[in-house]
Amino acid sequence: MIVVININLGNVGSILNMLKKIGVKACLSSRSEDIKKAEKMILPGVGSFDNALLNISELKLMDVINQKVLNDKTPILGICLGAQLMTRNSEEGSCPGFGWIDARTVRFNFDSNPFKLKVPHMGWNQVRQLKDSLLFRPSDEVEERRFYFVHSYHMICDNPADILTTSHYGFDFTSAFARENIYGVQFHPEKSHKYGMRLLQNFADL
């Protein structure tokens, strides 16, 4: 059973809708008993960095999630803000992130860019895979990998080996990372048609 961690933020309905569509068992919960039993976890997130972390603290889920990820090595997928929460910190807030990945989260800044790109980065963009991962499989049968993005902040990994994909918006930024059991994607697989369905299926099949 995949537990979608409910931190009272964001559009969790669409993640559950897509998991149901591909026939993956999942539940939405903010109870530590459920999280303890999870075979896999999804950390969703739309909203702000501090707000999310404060909610996690208030729900008293910090320890159980850390335990599951770092000790039990339970696979976890962070989506959008959920992925950013896995970094050390964010320019969006002052709370420390989980810090499982040596990375930081910064705001898109195009002040010195002649094209003054719009922020948030919103829409469909391609991802370029930099290393092998079970999240993207050769059997996926997609001619390209494209996903829906909507975000104003992006992640910078200290360790290039953690970068799973990059995408281009003004420059190449990390659009997914993977280290051991920890996966984070900046885009929204739950809103990305078959491309997202394949990715979530692959995560469920880990």
Partner 1 sequence: MMTTRVIPCLLLKGRGLVKTIRFKKPQYVGDPINAVRIFNDKEVDELVILDISATMEGRRPDFKLIEDIASEAFMPFGYGGGIRSLDDVRTLFKLGVEKVIINSYAVENPSFIGEVANIVGGQSVVISIDVKKNMFGKYEMFSQSGQKKAALDIEAFVALMQDMGAGELLVTSMDRDGGMMGYDTALIKKIAKLLDIPLIACGGAGKTADFLPAVQAGASAVAAGSMFVFHGRQRAVLISYPDQKIMKKVFAV
| Of 40, 68, 104, 121, the one binding partner 1 by CB under 8 A | 121
Residues 6+ away with beta carbon under 8 Å from 143 = none
Catalytic residue selected from 151, 154, 157, 190: 190
**Hey, what's the torsion of the CAs at 17, 49, 118, 195, to 10 degrees?**
-30
Site string for partner 1, 56-95 (x = CB under 8 A): ----------------------------------------
Residue 190: active-site member = yes
Residue 188: active-site member = yes
Give the side-chain half-sphere CA count within 13 A for 130: 16
Rule CB under 8 A: is residue 11 a binding residue for partner 1? yes
Nearest CB to partner 1, comparing residues 67 and 126 = 126
Tell me how far, at minimum, the Cβ of 18 lies from partner 1, in Å: 6
Judge whether 119 and 157 are in contact, CB under 8 Å. Answer: no
Structure tokens of 66? 């850390």
Judge whether 29 and 5 are in contact, CB under 8 Å. Answer: yes
Site string for partner 1, 161-190 (x = CB under 8 A): -------xx------------------x-x
| Of 57, 66, 123, 205, the one binding partner 1 by CB under 8 A | 123
Residues 6+ away with beta carbon under 8 Å from 14 = 188, 190, 191
Residue 168: active-site member = no
Nearest CB to partner 1, comparing residues 36 and 128 = 128
Tell me how far, at minimum, the Cβ of 37 lies from partner 1, in Å: 24
| Of 181, 192, 201, 202, the one binding partner 1 by CB under 8 A | 192
Rule CB under 8 A: is residue 48 a binding residue for partner 1? yes
Q: Residue 2's closest CA among 128, 194, 195, 189?
A: 189
Judge whether 95 and 49 are in contact, CB under 8 Å. Answer: yes
Q: Would you tell me how many other CB atoms lie within 10 Å of the CB of residue 135? A: 22
Catalytic residue selected from 33, 58, 80, 154: 80
| Of 44, 97, 184, 196, the one binding partner 1 by CB under 8 A | 196
Judge whether 162 and 156 are in contact, CB under 8 Å. Answer: no
**Interacting residues toward partner 1 by CB under 8 A:** 10-14, 17-18, 20-21, 46-48, 118, 120-126, 146, 148, 150-152, 168-169, 188, 190-194, 196-197
